[in-house]
Structure 1
Amino acid sequence: MSHPNRERADRILDAAGELLLRMGYRKVAVDDIARAVGIGKGTVYLHWRNKELLFQALMMRESADLTDEILGRIRADPAMILPHRMISASFLVTHRRPLVMAMLRGNADMFGSLGDLALRKQQDALRAQFEEAMLRRGLIRSDVPNLTYALNAATLGFYLGDTLSDEFDGIPLEEKATVLAHLIRTAFEPAGEPDPAAVADVAAELGSALEELVSGYRQGIYAHDPIRAPG
């Protein structure tokens, strides 16, 4: 059943996202968001007590949608969880979400003080679990020094590289993702074909961790869902 208040909450978040990209966090007022949706400011506050909570809900929704997309791919093909496939798929999916890209690049003007640390903490915990499962099942090399740092640095360069220089602007996104997959495959994964049983195991473990993450996000988005509200 579709909840009318949910629909309104989603309309508020849609408007907030568009305004955020256009104006940046500091300049967007709750008034602007209400006006864009065609409701009173008080109605926005029925859903979220303040601007910061509203924008946290927006980022949770973005993260939930992105994670759902990755989950769908893992369900369709468990080998999606191999680091080179997972990391390059996330790279592509993330680039199609301007809000997530802005959050990743830590665009201060865009987000103000909205570090949304809870989201980051959850994602870090998930990444640690992912790496641990990969190591346990031999899907990632155990001889890479400082593995977490190495993986993070290698991946982040693909997200931030074009903010530092326009030298590689001409390379299509798909091609960048292919380069990223190649780098991760050759630098971080053991040679040879991965064991299908190990792949299935990690896909099941990671899949349920991601499902849990998404359902937590989805609850958080509408945490202040008003049951009966005028508007």
Structure 2
Amino acid sequence: MILDHARAVILDKGYRRATIADIAQRAGIGKGAVYLDFPSKEAVLDALLARSVREMAAAVRGRIDRHGAPVTLSELYGISMEALLADELMLAFYLADDSVLGDYVRDKGPGRYGPRLDWLTGYATDLREAGLLRRDVDPRAASLVMSVFAVGLINAGPVLGGLPPDSLAQAVRQMSALISAGWELDPAGADAAAVRRAHDTLLDRLDEQTEAP
């Protein structure tokens, strides 16, 4: 599969140094065959990141399925970020090609990420109604805080001079702990079925967006 070879090339050379010719050579095909599926290197990156997000969503669903009690917002946030950073390619973008993701997010802009903020707001609202979040938590403000943190991690490398993997993981754990301490109620009192519906709705929307052409 072309994407598998593209992933290997990018891990080996880095995104900025990798070329369509490199990908074609690794796949044992001509450049024209790559261009039949992907009009540019940027399109290859888009497909690779979409695949990573789908795999992250699948991993999160699996963790939810294996969880006995309702999964809280802090747990889901931590699980999602950990799954993303467990992807070797995504981790390389954070640590080695540390300006690639920032450029990508800025290029896609509100058209790609604006809906995700709306989905996260709806998700937080559903969790509040299900009894997992305090009534005084503003879902929009909470969603913005989580989104700003995620975007900040993407841009932290170029600004701060690089971050080791342990620092990224620790930052995610600390953010999850802050969400838990500041916003959440005891999950034992929550509507477990409503919580699961909220999780499924959010993950379904993410899957639908990443499947879009």
Measure the CA separation in 1 of the matches of 2:164 and 2:108: 31
1:13-52 mapped onto 2 (5 Å cutoff): 13-52=3-42
> Kindly tell me: are residues 103 and 166 of structure 1, through their superposed partners in 2, closer, same or farther at Cα, counting changes over 3 Å?
closer
Deviations 1:111-139 (A, max 9, x none): 75573445434432321221121223332
Match of 2:181 in 1: 186
Match of 1:127 in 2: 120
Aligned partner of residue 89 in structure 2, secondary structure: helix
Query: 1:110 Cα deviation (Å)?
Result: 6.5
**Is the 1:68–1:214 Cα contact (8 Å) retained in structure 2?**
no
Give the AA of the match of 1:108: S
Aligned partner of residue 143 in structure 1, secondary structure: coil
Match of 1:201 in 2: 194
Match of 1:53 in 2: 43
**Is the 1:92–1:177 Cα contact (8 Å) retained in structure 2?**
yes
Which has the bigger relative contact order, CA under 8 A and spacing at least 6?
1
Normalised TM-score (structure 1)? 0.69
| Greater radius of gyration (CA) | 1
Give the AA of the match of 1:148: S
Match of 2:203 in 1: 210
**Is the 1:84–1:182 Cα contact (8 Å) retained in structure 2?**
yes
Deviations 1:8-35 (A, max 9, x none): xxx2112222333443433221111000
Structure 1: which 5+ runs fail to align? 1-10, 224-231
Measure the CA separation in 2 of the matches of 1:37 and 1:133: 46
Match of 1:142 in 2: 135
**Is the 1:17–1:58 Cα contact (8 Å) retained in structure 2?**
yes
- 2:99 is equivalent to residue 108 of structure 1: yes
How many residue pairs were aligned? 207
The CA RMSD measured in Å over matched residues stands at: 3.6
**Is the 1:79–1:203 Cα contact (8 Å) retained in structure 2?**
no
> Kindly tell me: are residues 41 and 211 of structure 1, through their superposed partners in 2, closer, same or farther at Cα, counting changes over 3 Å?
same
Give the AA of the match of 1:131: A
Measure the CA separation in 2 of the matches of 1:214 and 1:42: 30
Normalised TM-score (structure 2)? 0.74
Match of 1:94 in 2: 84
Match of 1:62 in 2: 52
Query: 1:188 Cα deviation (Å)?
Result: 1.4
**Is the 2:70–2:195 Cα contact (8 Å) retained in structure 1?**
no
Measure the CA separation in 2 of the matches of 1:116 and 1:107: 17
Query: 1:103 Cα deviation (Å)?
Result: 5.6
Query: 1:109 Cα deviation (Å)?
Result: 4.6
Identity of aligned residues (%): 22
Query: 1:194 Cα deviation (Å)?
Result: 4.0
Measure the CA separation in 1 of the matches of 2:117 and 2:94: 13
Query: 1:44 Cα deviation (Å)?
Result: 0.8
**Is the 1:15–1:33 Cα contact (8 Å) retained in structure 2?**
yes
> Kindly tell me: are residues 69 and 177 of structure 1, through their superposed partners in 2, closer, same or farther at Cα, counting changes over 3 Å?
same
Aligned partner of residue 81 in structure 1, secondary structure: coil
Structure 2: which 5+ runs fail to align? none
